[in-house]
A and B are shown apart, each in its own frame.
Chain A
Amino acid sequence: MSMMKLTASALAIAAVSATAAAARDQVQVAGSSTVLPYASIVAEAFGENFDFPTPVVESGGSSAGLKRFCEGVGENTIDVANASRKIKDSEIKACAEAGVTDIIEVKIGYDGIVFASQLNGPEYTAFEPADLFNALAANVLVDGKIAPNPHNQWSDFNADLPSEAILAFVPGTKHGTREVFDEKVIHAGCEATGALEAFKASGMDDKAADKACMELRTDGKSVDIDGDYTETLARIDSNANGIGVFGLAFYENNTDKLKVATMSGVEPKTETIASGDYPVSRPLYFYVKKAHIGVVPGLKEYAEFFVSDDMAGPSGPLSEYGLVSDPELAGTQSMVAEEKTMGSNM
């Protein structure tokens, strides 16, 4: 019966597959979707230049990547986790419990976070952290008192801004970008407007006041975007009065649709972010499992290639794509070469 043959071959295939599942010869990478483009550029060039196979790069978010990274040591776990934030102590602990103790932390450079709006939309060209706090926070300072955010238009609190209805698309809480946005923009704005003092004066301790500062309004004027920047772009496209939060690289690839606003008077550019003048930026990392070096072929070469001057240097392809090169790249290079793990040099 042909049916029998079909079943038999299906079983045979399944059996062959199960035995072949053991060996792995390519580096596996997962993690932050912000780091994904950089990692895939490196992986591609790595495959071109070395005899090792092209590393496998997946996204999924910093937290998801680090979680998989911390699942343990062995063929079935990933070798490298990309992250758009530093690994948390809780994650280091989870790693250690699963047997992942020696982790090499590699800082690849910086990523700027920019505020952009429709190219031909309203004149959103200059923001201060205080403006975004006044526009988006749940509770703001009105006449010296804490009150639920009453602002409907940007011009309600800053006459220099256009009189357009407030609408902002900010990254959802699962994004590493959101954390930076909360801390470097909203919290900074909270401090600048004096709301932080007012929160403290109302009897909150430091922690509660910080938290109250970073709470965003929920009346639909601040919209959380859980998807990628493409989704934010689509929302901006259909809402002329909206502003969106983007990565610098994404903005630079879509300058035909977006215009960017300065933050505290500084235009977001590779140079201003590298010098630290532009306030909203964050370091990008990847984490390497030391136990896999020497076991998975090409892992160390990949890590070294990633931070080499040719790739991550100021004129390399990563910086051409939008990464802000780390001025201390040389230190990172020697750290990777010596396989220094976290904690051993701190």
Chain B
Amino acid sequence: MTDATSTPGAMPHAAPKSSLLTLDSRVRRRNAAEARFRAYGIAAVSVGLIFLVFLLIAIFRNGIPAFTQTFISVPVELVEEKLDKTGNRDIEEIKKVSTFGYKPLLVDGLTTMLADAGIENPFEKPADVEKLVSASAVGQIRDYVISHPDAIGKTVEFRVLASSRVDGYFKGRVTRESLVRDKNLDAEHLDVSDALTESGQMKRSFNWAFIFGADASESRPEQAGIGVSMIGSFFMMLVVLFLSLPIGVAASIYLEEFAPKNKWTDLIEVNISNLAAVPSIVFGILGLAVFIQFVELPQSAPLVGGLVLTLMTLPTIIISTRASLKAVPPSIRDAALGVGASKMQSVFHHVLPLAMPGILTGTIIGLAQALGETAPLLLIGMVGFIASNAPDGIAAGFLSPNSAMPAQIYEWAKRADPAYYERAWGGIIILLAFLMTMNIIAIILRRRFERRW
């Protein structure tokens, strides 16, 4: 092998029976097999990468539009005779005017706006102009009037959401051809929208309400946001963190450091490993039976969701904690015991701090898994629920019905209005951002604090 000077061609007469330098057919076959295997490997990796790229392209192409929304600035005259007949600005009387009472004001406002901008008003019925704006606009004006009663009688400029069809037109989802068969909007609306965009009164801008707002009913997809279900997910994660971390760590410390090795602990160990492989829907049905039907905790509450997800996350945390406890070399324990520490002192003062990065990584990964879980939430009523109220306190955060981010995405994906489809993709982007952040934190923790021996 080291004899590099001799080449096979130099001594044809003394060719050995077999040599590493001449390739006989078997060697060639083996080399070819290896080359093939490398090619398979590269192919497998590239197929995976291609899928990932497709997925990301699909997600971003479909989801990015959800982050912007079309708004219309419309001056509305808050007519005193309609909003406050007596003129004494009594808030209770102002509240009696329902959102339906504000509709004519909005229609008048829009009509004047068109006239002022010099845009021809093509609508046969004056009320048709209202289809340009979201159904949420009247509520927005009413809220403003209730909080600013002195504004009655004045003309106030409101920045209201455009209706989802108009918004869809600017995002390319709605075309003039498709509107011919759609009774929700007419081509005239699009002409007006184009003119308004030119005059600067209709603008597409970033939509914070999508990230922080509440879910909306099916008649106004333009208003829907993921904020409330984000709070639901947050409270669920709190429950998962504060239950599964102490329980999981305590269980694994006991099993790893203190428990005698016998049939019972073997049985427990096997069961924990099996538990990690149990489909999550099983935990959902367990949660329904135990937490809701037996303990009678409220339906759809993040507390119940958190409890169910705790069950799901526990095995993940126990397994990773035990692995990181195992990775702490026995010499550390021996040294601690050698200088007179008790068993518990050696574990809590020396082993556990060294194992902490691994435990935290495992916990964060477990949490990330729980954050993206939908199946168990199906059964405890967190899916198919309209998350429209933000909880008004910590206790309410745990107990009042709420949804969770993946459940919200699922809910949007099955709604009839195509505008919700885009929001489902947008929701995925937000969920992915959370998962990425959590995973990056886990990686940083591991990189910074992991000790190797």
CB–CB B416/A57 < 8 A = no
CB–CB A230/B416 < 8 A = yes
Tell me if A201 counts as interface (CB < 8 A to partner B).
Answer: no
B298: chain A residues within 8 A (beta carbon) = 21, 24, 76
CB–CB B418/A256 < 8 A = yes
- Rounded to whole angstroms, the CA-CA distance of A62 and B355 in the bound complex is 52
- Rounded to whole angstroms, the CA-CA distance of A41 and B385 in the bound complex is 13
CB–CB A229/B245 < 8 A = no
The answer to whether A44 and B398 touch (CB under 8 A), given A21-B298, A51-B95, is no
Return A105 CB to nearest CB of chain B, in Å.
23
User: 1/0 per position for B113-129, CB-CB distance to A under 8 A?
Assistant: 00000000000000000
CB–CB B181/A40 < 8 A = no
Tell me if A114 counts as interface (CB < 8 A to partner B).
Answer: no
Tell me if A321 counts as interface (CB < 8 A to partner B).
Answer: yes
The answer to whether A48 and B99 touch (CB under 8 A), given A230-B415, A256-B178, is yes
- List residues 179-200 of chain B with CB under 8 A from any CB of chain A: 181-184
User: 1/0 per position for A31-50, CB-CB distance to B under 8 A?
Assistant: 00100110011011101110
The answer to whether A17 and B399 touch (CB under 8 A), given A47-B388, A58-B384, A317-B135, is yes
CB–CB B217/A253 < 8 A = no
CB–CB A56/B401 < 8 A = yes
B218: chain A residues within 8 A (beta carbon) = 37, 40-41, 321
List the A residue with the shortest CB-CB distance to B127.
A315
- For B184, B219, B299, the residue with the greatest tally of chain A CB atoms inside 10 Å of its CB is B219
- Rounded to whole angstroms, the CA-CA distance of A24 and B296 in the bound complex is 14
- List residues 132-191 of chain B with CB under 8 A from any CB of chain A: 135, 139, 142-143, 174-175, 178, 181-184
List the B residue with the shortest CB-CB distance to A18.
B297
The answer to whether A37 and B217 touch (CB under 8 A), given A3-B249, A44-B388, is yes
- Range for the number of chain A residues in contact with chain B: 35 or more
Tell me if B216 counts as interface (CB < 8 A to partner A).
Answer: yes
CB–CB A57/B99 < 8 A = no
A202: chain B residues within 8 A (beta carbon) = none
A346: chain B residues within 8 A (beta carbon) = none
- List residues 243-274 of chain B with CB under 8 A from any CB of chain A: 243, 245-246, 249-250
Residue from B384, B394, B413, B417 within 8 A of A33 (CB atoms): B384
Return A16 CB to nearest CB of chain B, in Å.
6
A17: chain B residues within 8 A (beta carbon) = 303, 395, 398-399
Q: Determine the main DSSP class of A at the interface with B.
A: helix
List the A residue with the shortest CB-CB distance to B215.
A40
Residue from A13, A26, A229, A320 within 8 A of B416 (CB atoms): A229
Tell me if B414 counts as interface (CB < 8 A to partner A).
Answer: yes
CB–CB B417/A253 < 8 A = yes
CB–CB A10/B219 < 8 A = no
Tell me if B98 counts as interface (CB < 8 A to partner A).
Answer: yes
The answer to whether A76 and B296 touch (CB under 8 A), given A9-B242, A53-B389, is yes
Tell me if A272 counts as interface (CB < 8 A to partner B).
Answer: no
Tell me if B321 counts as interface (CB < 8 A to partner A).
Answer: no
Tell me if B381 counts as interface (CB < 8 A to partner A).
Answer: yes
- Rounded to whole angstroms, the CA-CA distance of A258 and B183 in the bound complex is 14
Tell me if B386 counts as interface (CB < 8 A to partner A).
Answer: yes
Tell me if A310 counts as interface (CB < 8 A to partner B).
Answer: yes
- List residues 199-248 of chain B with CB under 8 A from any CB of chain A: 216-220, 238-239, 242-243, 245-246
- List residues 399-452 of chain B with CB under 8 A from any CB of chain A: 399-401, 413-418
User: 1/0 per position for B47-85, CB-CB distance to A under 8 A?
Assistant: 000000000000000000000000000000000000000
List the A residue with the shortest CB-CB distance to B103.
A310
- For A17, A51, A53, A230, the residue with the greatest tally of chain B CB atoms inside 10 Å of its CB is A17
Return A292 CB to nearest CB of chain B, in Å.
15
CB–CB B414/A228 < 8 A = yes
Residue from B178, B388, B399, B413 within 8 A of A54 (CB atoms): B388
B381: chain A residues within 8 A (beta carbon) = 30, 58, 60
- Rounded to whole angstroms, the CA-CA distance of A51 and B409 in the bound complex is 29
- Rounded to whole angstroms, the CA-CA distance of A41 and B296 in the bound complex is 29
The answer to whether A255 and B178 touch (CB under 8 A), given A36-B384, A37-B217, A41-B218, is yes
CB–CB B399/A21 < 8 A = yes
Chain A residues proximal to chain B, CB less than 8 Å? 1, 3, 6-7, 9-10, 13, 16-17, 20-21, 24, 26, 28, 30, 33, 36-37, 40-41, 43-45, 47-49, 51, 53-54, 56-60, 76, 227-231, 249-250, 252-256, 259, 310, 317, 320-321
5 A–B contacts, CB within 8 A, in A order: A13-B239, A43-B217, A44-B220, A230-B414, A256-B175
> Considering the complex of A and B, which 5 residue pairs feature the smallest CB-CB distances, nearest first?
A10-B242, A256-B178, A59-B384, A40-B217, A37-B218
